[in-house]
Structure 1
Amino acid sequence: MKIHPLITTSDTLAELCERLAKSEFVTVDTEFMRENTYWPELCLVQIANTEEAAAIDPMAEGLDMTPLYDLLTRNEDVLKVFHAGGQDVEIIFNATGRTPHPIFDTQIAMMAISQSEQIGYSNLVESWQGLTIDKGARFTDWSRRPLTERQIEYAIGDVTHLSKIFPKMLKRLIKTGRGQWLDEEMEKLADPEHYRSDPAQAWKRIKAPGRNPQVLGRLRAIAEWREIEAQGKNLPRGRIARDETLADLASHPPKTQADLAKVRGLSQGWKDNEIGKRLMNAIAKAQPMTEDDMPPRTPRGAPLGKEGVLVADLLKLLLKIRAREIDVAARLLARSDELEMLASGVRKNLPVLTGWRYEVFGHDAVDLVEGKLAFAVENGRLKMTHVDDVVDAAPAAPAKDAAPTTDASPTTSD
């Protein structure tokens, strides 16, 4: 495979993208920094196909990234392959307003062909290629220039290894017939709505302190205020105020700006500065949350009762058994909250009861809840058994009042 020098000019990047546009797939990775900013700072992009690989410096002066972004987000003929690509996709969305498509994530794909739920890249490479990756440059400051040869070599390795692993993984998926299982998951990864930052929805990231409409209304207002402050200053949310502080403010709102000095997590200066004034304005304008906007009630944390909790535990055991039997990650089949909803009697709008998930696991899960499925031990291993099968296989018991039978012929008296 040809490895190009670090690309820093627009002409070289355009030529590379023109060649890559003829590929069936490209593997993509990014290096970025976000510890001190709200928006992740893109520092490096690595891309490869089966013949060539390159690292691109988006921080290079005058570099036009348009050809690369068009390849990733507008060219529907080239599959874009990532590993754990959520943050990479977010960065591309922030830069373009679009997401890569079509897309494939090898971490998600591993869930369909193994019991690995969040396999790391190093373990993926070791599993498929028997290689150990040098992690020495993993936590480097990618924003500092110039980049060293070791940094660039490490970064490019992420896509060169992936370009060899992906075809093998695709063959495995085709052989098992599980490729279609991943379609929905990949579309979720490419859905722009997952990466759109709407300050009005920021409250949903914070653990809600109960279901009081007034408290939730204030939480929504101050979470939106924090998001706008963080975006405007390009600072992490936590640098403005921590989630716990927002929850406390929502539950115990200060009456005056001077009271902000007493709030844990805020500095004394908030009692008379401009940011404190904007926070107080947000609290004052907060409206109680309507019933339509309230977070949906879910069985998580809700009383299932002792029997319901036991049923949920049995469903989780069933999930582990089925995942082991078919060698698939349990998380791909069903989530814990879905199983709790099943245990509580919910049967509508559950992914586990639709499509391939229902065929592979959901049908048996419903049977277990309805008493049609039981657990058995065979050769020291726990397995599932349908009750009807057990009954059919059991020898028939003699009738309680049946008369004993003999080989002698009946006799009659004259």
Structure 2
Amino acid sequence: MRIHPLIDDSDSLSDLCARLAKSDFVAVDTEFMRESTYWPDLCLIQIGDHEEAAAIDPKANGIDLTPLLDLLVDNEDVLKVFHAGGQDVEIVYNLTGKTPHPIFDTQIAAMALGLGEQIGYSNLVDALLGQSLDKGARFTDWARRPLDKRQLDYAIGDVTHLAELFPRMLDRLRETGRGAWINAEMERLADPANYANVPEESWKRVRIQSRKADVLGRLKAIAAWREREAQDKNLPRGRLLRDETLADIASHPPKNQKALAKIRGLPSSWGGNDIGARLMQVVNHAEPLPESELPTRKSRKPGLGKEGALVADLLKLLLKIRSREIGVASRLIAKADDLEQLAAGERDELGLLAGWRYEEFGRDALNLVEGRVAFAVRDGKLKVTHAEDEGEG
């Protein structure tokens, strides 16, 4: 494989993208920093196919990334291959408002091949290629320049190995007939809705005990304000205002700005500065959350009851057995919430009761809930037995 020197000019990038646009797939990875910022600071982009690979410097003076971004988001003829690509996809979305498509994630594919729930990249390379990765440069400050040869080799290695992994994994998926099992997961990863940052929706990520409309209305208003302030200042939202402090203010609103100085988790200066004044304005003008937006008390675990919880535990055991038998990560088949819903008597819109999930697990799960499946130990191994099997000698 041909490895290019660091690309830091528009002409070289355009030429590279023109060649890669003729490939069936490109392997993609990014290096970024976000410990002290709201927006990820994109520092390096690695891309390649089975013939060539390169690292691109997005910080290079005057470089035009348009050909690369067009290749990633507008060229539907080229499959984009990532490993655990959620944050890489988020970066592309932040730059373009679009996501790469079509997409293939080797971590998701690994679940269908029984290689673990969330296998790390180095472990995947070791398992399928028999190679150990040099991790010495993984703590690099990628924003610093210049980057040395070892750092660049480490970064480019992520896509050269990925370009080798992908065809092997694709062949195994075809051999096992499991390619269709992961299509929905790949589409979910590429769904732009996953990366759209809507400040008015951010309150839903904050834990709070109260379900009162006035408290939740303040929570929504303050969370949206925090999101915009953090974006404007390019600071992590938690560094500006932690979740627990936000929830406390929503539940026990201060009477005036001076009272902000006494709230644990807030700088005392907020009692008299501009940001504190803006926060108080939001608190004072917050409207109660409309009834249509109030969260329901559809708490699945309490709704199960003791017997239902036992059934859910049995379903989890069944899932563990079935995932072991068919060699696929249990997380790809069903999640704990799905099992609890089934144990509570729900049937509608459960993914495990449709398609391949039903064939591989859902049918047995239903039979267990309805008393047609049991567990037995045979030859020292835990097995699933069906009612029609009883009486067999």
Shift of 1:290: 2.7
Shift of 1:159: 0.2
- Kept in 2: contact 1:33–1:43 (CA 8 A): yes
> Who is 1:405 aligned against?
none
- Kept in 2: contact 1:199–1:224 (CA 8 A): yes
Write the deviation string for residues 111-162 of structure 1: whole angstroms up to 9, x where unpaired. Answer: 1011501111110111111111111110111000111111100000000001
- Kept in 2: contact 1:298–1:341 (CA 8 A): no
Write the deviation string for residues 362-396 of structure 1: whole angstroms up to 9, x where unpaired. Answer: 121111111111111111111111113215x36xx
> Who is 2:195 aligned against?
195
Find the aligned partners of 1:104 and 1:352 in 2 and give their Cα distance: 22
| 1:131 aligned partner, one-letter code | Q
> Who is 2:40 aligned against?
40
- Kept in 2: contact 1:299–1:341 (CA 8 A): no
| Aligned residue runs from structure 1 range 12-411, under 5 A | 12-391=12-391, 393=392
Find the aligned partners of 1:219 and 1:141 in 2 and give their Cα distance: 36
Shift of 1:298: 3.9
Structure 2 counterpart SS, 1:292:
helix
| 2:76 aligned partner, one-letter code | E
What RMSD over aligned residues (CA atoms) do the two structures have, in Å? Answer: 1.2
Structure 2 counterpart SS, 1:304:
helix
With normalisation by structure 2, the TM-score equals 0.98
What are structure 2's unaligned runs of at least 5 residues? none
Find the aligned partners of 2:299 and 2:322 in 1 and give their Cα distance: 23
- Kept in 1: contact 2:210–2:251 (CA 8 A): no
Structure 2 counterpart SS, 1:235:
coil
Structure 1 counterpart SS, 2:197:
coil
Percent identity among equivalent residues?
A: 65
Structure 1 counterpart SS, 2:223:
helix
| 2:46 aligned partner, one-letter code | Q
- Kept in 2: contact 1:115–1:330 (CA 8 A): no
| 1:16 aligned partner, one-letter code | L
Q: Cα gap change, 1:69/1:185 in structure 2, threshold over 3 Å: closer, same or farther?
A: same
Write the deviation string for residues 47-98 of structure 1: whole angstroms up to 9, x where unpaired. Answer: 0100000000000001000000000100000000000000000000100111
Q: Cα gap change, 1:298/1:316 in structure 2, threshold over 3 Å: closer, same or farther?
A: farther
Write the deviation string for residues 269-300 of structure 1: whole angstroms up to 9, x where unpaired. Answer: 11111111111111122222233212344444
Find the aligned partners of 1:298 and 1:26 in 2 and give their Cα distance: 44
Find the aligned partners of 2:128 and 2:296 in 1 and give their Cα distance: 42
| 1:287 aligned partner, one-letter code | E
- Kept in 1: contact 2:303–2:344 (CA 8 A): no
| 2:319 aligned partner, one-letter code | L
Find the aligned partners of 1:167 and 1:252 in 2 and give their Cα distance: 57
Find the aligned partners of 1:285 and 1:368 in 2 and give their Cα distance: 53
With normalisation by structure 1, the TM-score equals 0.93
| 1:159 aligned partner, one-letter code | V
Shift of 1:241: 0.5
Moved more, 210-219 or 61-70: 210-219
| 2:371 aligned partner, one-letter code | G
| 2:218 aligned partner, one-letter code | R
Write the deviation string for residues 219-240 of structure 1: whole angstroms up to 9, x where unpaired. Answer: 1111101001001111110111
Find the aligned partners of 1:115 and 1:58 in 2 and give their Cα distance: 34
Higher Cα radius of gyration: 1
Find the aligned partners of 1:285 and 1:367 in 2 and give their Cα distance: 54
Alignment size in residue pairs: 393
Q: Cα gap change, 1:122/1:316 in structure 2, threshold over 3 Å: closer, same or farther?
A: same
Find the aligned partners of 2:333 and 2:210 in 1 and give their Cα distance: 30
Find the aligned partners of 2:329 and 2:23 in 1 and give their Cα distance: 31
Q: Cα gap change, 1:366/1:194 in structure 2, threshold over 3 Å: closer, same or farther?
A: same
Shift of 1:301: 4.3
- Kept in 2: contact 1:31–1:45 (CA 8 A): yes
